[in-house]
Structure 1
Amino acid sequence: MAAGRRARPRHGRAARPHDDPAEGASVTAPTVDVHAHVLLPEVDALVAGRPGLAEARALDALRNGPAALAVNGPMVRERVPALTDVAVRLSAMDAQGVDVQLVSPSPSHYHYWADEETAEKLCLLAGEATAAHCARAPGRLHGLGLAPLQHPKLAVRTLEHAMGLGLLGVEISSHAPGRELSDPAYEPFWTRAEDTGAILFLHPFGCTLDERLDRWYLSNTVGQPTENAVALSHLIFSGVLDRHPGLKLIAAHGGGYLPTHLGRSDHAWSARSDAGAGCAHLPSSYLKRLYFDSLVHDPYVLRELIRVAGADRVLLGSDFPFDMGTEDPVGALRAARLSDADFDAVRGGNAALLLRKD
């Protein structure tokens, strides 16, 4: 979830699924947006008044600062219909030229402060509510549940529950309090996700740099890319991706700073025994084992992401309907001036293959 200056109106017709990036291009796959959110009032009701919620909100206020919070509230309230009403969502998708969305709960629903009992109830409820939302538009909406990273032993159970509901996997943040994604306690979770073919959507919420980023919305503009880079580095350098090469993990926001700045990591891996101790291969090589959404807000950065990760590893993403997303994800992709084949792969071809339940 993100906040910032209100989006300016776009001019001209939204891209449609049959539009070509260039004359004569062939389009067969649907246009698929893998980064879209749903707000779940049921989850908010569940955690209301629970011990730990007030402290978590105070920490969130510290990390974002008063100016950001003053913008966040009205921004989210304005978008509640798009976040909760399927008819509003479908209308917006039609206007954007998006055929299919992969819908994940708003990251504000993570609540990694919650005790085991509350966390399990929360994740089960979030899965059920997301599945019900998506069931109102079968074929157009696919969903993800949540996993309580603060309680690794529950993560497998909630993943299996989500998959049993017909969801395609779960959304996770970049870390939990006191635990990085390299923590050995997550090994059963990675194993089960790999075995089931579950999609894991890595979407940070909050940044541990705290009040250093509490002005000018740095908590999001700098904090989110930083969190992505740290989380992915833990997965790479710890050997998680060596042990679980079949993981289907999508990193939001184009993977943050990491994909386009991995030269320093590659150098460290080659030059230092401590940096190279945990993973078997050059760090940059692992980009081709991950997936990334296209939401980088710069066509040249998107071109570089596609160059280093491969056109088959980048998926269309909008962060619907938050203000730090894009209202025209297909147009943003077109601005990168890719080849017809790469355009179609990112627009929907890659996601159509990844989202298949078989």
Structure 2
Amino acid sequence: MSAAVRTVDVHAHVAVPAVDALIEKEPGLARQRQVDAASLGPESTAYNMRHIAELAPKLTDLDLRLAAMDRARVDVQVVTATPLPHAWADVELAGRIVAASNEGVAGFCAREPSRLVPVGTVALQHPGLAVEQLETAVREMGMRGVQISTAAGPGMELDDPALADFWAAAEELDAAVLIHPWGCTLGERLNAYYLFNSVGNPTETALALSRIVFSGLLERHPGLRIWSAHGGGYLAGYMVRADHAWEMRGDARTTRQRPSALLRRTFVDSLVYTPEQLRHLVASMGAGQVTLGSDHPFDMGVEDPVDRLLAAGFDQATTDAIRGGNAVRLLGDMPEPIGTRS
């Protein structure tokens, strides 16, 4: 690997206990937990409770995180809050949740600014508020962008006209928008074998990206920088079906360019596990659109993203792009290592 390229993991999470305390007694949280439990099923619900408890130190302890980064040969980690849905929150509570979350993420990263880069969140279910929160995160808090879910909330998809000002603001601010799913709206059909995540997450991402692509959002806002987790879900692996629909059906010919061409304007991470799948992802998306990602510290993530990248056997230019160069194109220049500032 080229020593001039810093290794950047764009997919990692931190817990914000202040948010947990803020919402613990809210009826909306109780209802969300009921929905999640029905979708997860009893075995996965119980497993998750044990797993999250075990993960707590890794989600909050800075020294443990830096040690894990060193073992993985990661120079810089892009940090977002643990993606739990708060679309049930009203405007007042949503404002407090986002403020606490973004302050928590920014404060955690400020403890090691040469190695941690903060990305915030917004209350997308309240579009006007989300624009204000995006502006605050980028202009006042120095965040590189925001993380959103695969829908703004019940009845509001990411291509909803109500979100037009949000997408325009993201383009104007040159802010990256990171799409990260939480479970799936297929509900109880996924209530066994952890299908909630293994099938649900990539399904939700594929749906969100499909609505973005077919809606013409990327043609209206060519400067938008959209990134999606877990290799872009299922869409990146099977975009040829979207292209076929666009070619054959008038109701799907909604854009000037093919869906695959528009999808290749977006970024994805490398979290697809095997060398064969990563090579397929790069062939589908292009070497310039794939970024290194670990999903630290969750069990559906990996502890060795660099080793998995090297195992794919790409040429040096492709390896360096995925390892760190594409992250700079997505999020801007990375912080300099300690001791290099003049």
- For the criterion TM > 0.5, the same-fold answer is yes
Deviation per CA, 1:244-301, whole angstroms, max 9, x where unpaired? 111111110000100111111111101110011x222100001221000000112212
Query: What is the aligned counterpart of 1:347 among 323, 326, 332?
Result: 323
Instruction: For 2:297 and 2:7, locate their aligned partners in 1 and report how far apart those are by CA, in whole Å.
Output: 17
Deviation per CA, 1:145-165, whole angstroms, max 9, x where unpaired? 111121112110111111121
Instruction: For 1:54 and 1:83, locate their aligned partners in 2 and report how far apart those are by CA, in whole Å.
Output: 23
User: Which residue does the alignment assign to 1:321?
Assistant: 297
Displacement, 1:350?
1.3
Query: What is the aligned counterpart of 1:106 among 77, 82, 85?
Result: 82
SS at match of 1:30: coil
Amino acid at match of 1:34: V
For the 8 Å contact 2:236–2:281, the answer to whether it is kept is yes
User: Which residue does the alignment assign to 1:199?
Assistant: 176
Instruction: For 1:271 and 1:288, locate their aligned partners in 2 and report how far apart those are by CA, in whole Å.
Output: 21
The yes-or-no answer on 1:239 pairing with 2:239 is no
Instruction: For 1:215 and 1:128, locate their aligned partners in 2 and report how far apart those are by CA, in whole Å.
Output: 36
Structure 2 counterparts to residues 1-150 of structure 1, below 5 A: 20=1, 26-108=2-84, 110-150=85-125
Structure 2 counterparts to residues 327-342 of structure 1, below 5 A: 327-342=303-318
Single out whichever of 348-357 and 32-41 deviates more from structure 2.
348-357
Query: What is the aligned counterpart of 1:274 among 251, 254, 257?
Result: 251
For the 8 Å contact 2:267–2:330, the answer to whether it is kept is no
Instruction: For 2:110 and 2:99, locate their aligned partners in 1 and report how far apart those are by CA, in whole Å.
Output: 16
For the 8 Å contact 1:29–1:352, the answer to whether it is kept is no
**What is the TM-score when the length of structure 2 is the normalising length?**
0.95
The yes-or-no answer on 1:257 pairing with 2:228 is no
For the 8 Å contact 2:39–2:196, the answer to whether it is kept is yes
Amino acid at match of 2:106: A
Query: What is the aligned counterpart of 1:285 among 257, 261, 271?
Result: 261
Single out whichever of 32-41 and 43-52 deviates more from structure 2.
43-52
The yes-or-no answer on 1:166 pairing with 2:142 is yes
**What is the TM-score when the length of structure 1 is the normalising length?**
0.91
Displacement, 1:357?
5.8
The two structures, once aligned, show a CA RMSD in angstroms of: 1.2
Instruction: For 1:79 and 1:233, locate their aligned partners in 2 and report how far apart those are by CA, in whole Å.
Output: 33
Instruction: For 2:316 and 2:65, locate their aligned partners in 1 and report how far apart those are by CA, in whole Å.
Output: 28
For the 8 Å contact 1:145–1:171, the answer to whether it is kept is yes
Query: Which residues of structure 1 form unaligned runs of 5+?
Result: 1-19, 21-25
Q: Once the two structures are aligned, what percentage of the paired residues are identical?
A: 51
Instruction: For 1:357 and 1:165, locate their aligned partners in 2 and report how far apart those are by CA, in whole Å.
Output: 16
User: Which residue does the alignment assign to 2:164?
Assistant: 187
For the 8 Å contact 1:287–1:308, the answer to whether it is kept is no
Instruction: For 1:244 and 1:301, locate their aligned partners in 2 and report how far apart those are by CA, in whole Å.
Output: 30
Instruction: For 2:104 and 2:27, locate their aligned partners in 1 and report how far apart those are by CA, in whole Å.
Output: 23
SS at match of 2:227: strand
Deviation per CA, 1:114-158, whole angstroms, max 9, x where unpaired? 111101111111111100000000121001111112111211011
Query: Which residues of structure 2 form unaligned runs of 5+?
Result: 335-342
Work out the number of aligned pairs and report it.
332
Displacement, 1:66?
0.9
User: Which residue does the alignment assign to 1:223?
Assistant: 200
Displacement, 1:79?
1.5
Single out whichever of 83-92 and 33-42 deviates more from structure 2.
83-92
For the 8 Å contact 1:82–1:88, the answer to whether it is kept is yes
For the 8 Å contact 2:105–2:118, the answer to whether it is kept is yes
SS at match of 2:288: helix
For the 8 Å contact 1:313–1:350, the answer to whether it is kept is yes
